[in-house]
Structure 1
């Protein structure tokens, strides 16, 4: 018996055609397999109407990243985390509560808010300041309590807390000394909401710049502005000068226009 293998192809052309045919068959099989790996939606098959309510993005990636992330228990990291949580709680606690203003009225609600946090208030029909945690204040709306002055110096007041000063039609004086969270956004809200202000004390509010100071042009009744202890530059001094020219009778304390 002859052990020599028999040639399957007559010539090289037949061999090349056979290779092309095998490659085309193999490609069609690969395409079919890749189609089986697609989801129902990608293959164009029927899906339920509840598909409209399914989330567009999966949270699986975020959850896995949180699980795999290393836990840092260094004292500095824990201290910073606790500080951020305390600030978040204080911001939430100072948020505007419509029911409180509905029951007390805007003036009494603002007075309760300030005195509870260690500040002082004065009403238009009184000559002395009230201090302490809501000492002697009514627990419901009463006539005759028109809030005239607020002293929130050294109070840990955030931007969210300023919403409690809403619609104070008789407020003339606002003192915010050493309020480290006061910034340009806070001045923007104050200038837009407290149009009756005549006195504004911003001493040692380090986060205030000339951009926030420029918003005070809206306070056309303003007569006194204290900016002592605020970092200043040429733009800050120029803004103060423009404010004095824009608001008649305004005096700004704590800025030196002739500084070289």
Structure 2
């Protein structure tokens, strides 16, 4: 009887280990409303992005910030570009983008936690986002890409290696119809 119980308890512990990692990812992506009120949306968003392995570029700066060294809290900064290559950002944290009014360009490359729901949350950047690149993000499907239609200021969309997209031509046509002034490319 003890052997049977041990086997039963072992399998859930493996599942619990997987859930633990998912739980940690949710914690790293969670919005801290108090911190956001204290330092403002751009700094709070930058802290989230950097904490999860992404890089940010400040307005009037040439280089990306690639580590967690930020100026003092009293310095007012605005994010203009996000490079989330190989970061662990997930839709749980996309509320950090609320109030960021200068983000013009975002790159999602090999973002394995990025899901369709995250792209829906990007609608808060509809008044500023001009360029988006989504490459090798395995959880993105047509449903997620359809949310890009809300980003009416987009000038350029670059898509590549999105293997679960069934009909590339259809999604390109749908996006082009909704965003007639946008240059849309979908590469293998």
- The normalised TM-score by structure 1 is 0.64
List alignment gaps of at least 5 residues for structure 2.
Answer: none
- Name the structure 2 match of 1:164: 96
Higher CA-based Rg:
1
Q: What does 1:57-96 correspond to in 2, within 5 Å?
A: 70=5, 72-74=8-10, 77-96=12-31
How many residues matched?
A: 182
Cα shift readout 1:82-102 (whole Å, capped 9, x = no counterpart): 121121122023211111111
- Name the structure 2 match of 1:188: 120
RMSD of the alignment, in Å? 2.0
Cα shift readout 1:85-142 (whole Å, capped 9, x = no counterpart): 121122023211111111111111111221233221101111111111x21x134243
- Name the structure 2 match of 1:112: 47
| Larger relative contact order (Cα-Cα within 8 Å, sequence gap ≥ 6) | 2
Contact 2:28 2:51 in 1 (8 A): no
Range that drifts further, 242-251 or 194-203: 242-251
- Name the structure 2 match of 1:149: 81
Select which of 207, 213, 222 maps to 2:139: 207
Which structure has the highest strand share of the two? 2
List alignment gaps of at least 5 residues for structure 1.
Answer: 1-68
- Name the structure 1 match of 2:184: 252
Contact 2:86 2:111 in 1 (8 A): yes
Cα shift readout 1:201-256 (whole Å, capped 9, x = no counterpart): 1101111111221121111111222221112222x421211212321331222258
